Amino acid sequence: MEIRQYLDSTYLKTASQAGLTKAQNIEIVRSFVQEAIDEKFKLIMIRPDMVALAKEMITASNSKVDVGTVIDFPNGDGLLEDALKEAETAIANGANDLDFVVNYEAFKRGELDYVKKQVLEGTRLGLSHNRIVKWIIEVAALNDHQIVQLTALIKNMVVANFKEEQYANVFVKSSTGFYTTNPGMPNGATIPSVKLMIENAFPLSVKAAGGVRTYEEALEMIALGVKRIGTSSAKAIANGQVSQNEY
């Protein structure tokens, strides 16, 4: 299997999170973008302020790698107006994919009307510009019942408000990779959580993000039905190696 077209190579640390200077962090982003170009991955997933840089490198290389970015990251609890402005700027800078974080804590509090509005308006913005939209639900913060409910909420909002031919451009995504869990507990995609997402997202697609570190694990996720895999270990996975990266 040519697995590279499933892989969204991901680097989402800020300079302070990585313990680096801004210039050093930019060089890491450049190395990830170049690796994505060289390896012909589906996409490079980076922070919004790095989108223009990535697009410039990809265009100069005549590469087909797409650029993705995260919106209202990592908690999804900012003002909706600000998230939409952030997405608009990312689109203007050349982002192909917009990975919004749904306000999963608001969902857990029962604030369903707000979450529905968030999903509706974010999806509408992305699709109106012919972009891919993904909704990160943060499975590590949810129990199984909540995973089912939130996945179904996103699916139902898309099916009720958009055309059938647009469904393929909307995903439900498992994780940010930045959620803090108890020691030994996964903070990314797991087989059980992804199964629940796939069962309840159709006809939308699912992206498994975080926790996939080997070629075999990637194949297992693909066999379940995921269409994208978000990982900071894309090259290791593609080459059949085992990665020790945390995402």
Strands of the chain (E only): list them: 7-10, 43-46, 66-71, 97-101, 132-136, 170-173, 205-209, 228-231
**Pair 173, 132: CB distance under 8 Å:** no
Of 13, 134, 207, 235, which is the active-site residue?
207
Q: How confident is the model at residue 217 (pLDDT cuts 50, 70, 90)?
A: very high
d(CA 128, CA 119): 14
pLDDT at residue 241, rounded to an integer: 82
Angle at Cα 21 formed by Cα 20 and Cα 26, nearest 5°? Answer: 90
Alpha-carbon gap, residue 176 to 194, rounded angstroms: 14
**Residue 72, Cβ density class (10 Å: 0-12 exposed, 13-18 middle, ≥19 buried):** buried
Q: Which CATH code is given to the segment(s) 7-207?
A: 3.20.20.70
Predicted confidence band at 1 (pLDDT cuts at 50, 70, 90)?
confident
For residues 94 and 87, what is the distance between their CA atoms, to the nearest angstrom? 11
* Active-site pick, 55, 99, 134, 235: 99
Mean predicted confidence (pLDDT) in 36-64? 98
Domain boundaries in the chain? 7-207
Instruction: Give the confidence band of 246 by pLDDT, cuts at 50, 70, 90.
Output: low
Active site includes 108? no
- Is the pLDDT score of 52 beyond 70? yes
**Helical (H) or strand (E) element with 169:** none
* Residue 73, amino acid: F
pLDDT at 177: 93
3-state secondary structure of 54: helix
DSSP, res 243: P
**Residue 154 contacts residue 104 (beta carbons within 8 Å):** no
The answer to whether residue 85 is catalytic is no
- Which of 183 and 79 is assigned the larger pLDDT? 79
What is the average pLDDT across 205-214?
94
207 is catalytic: yes
Catalytic, out of 13, 134, 155, 173: 173
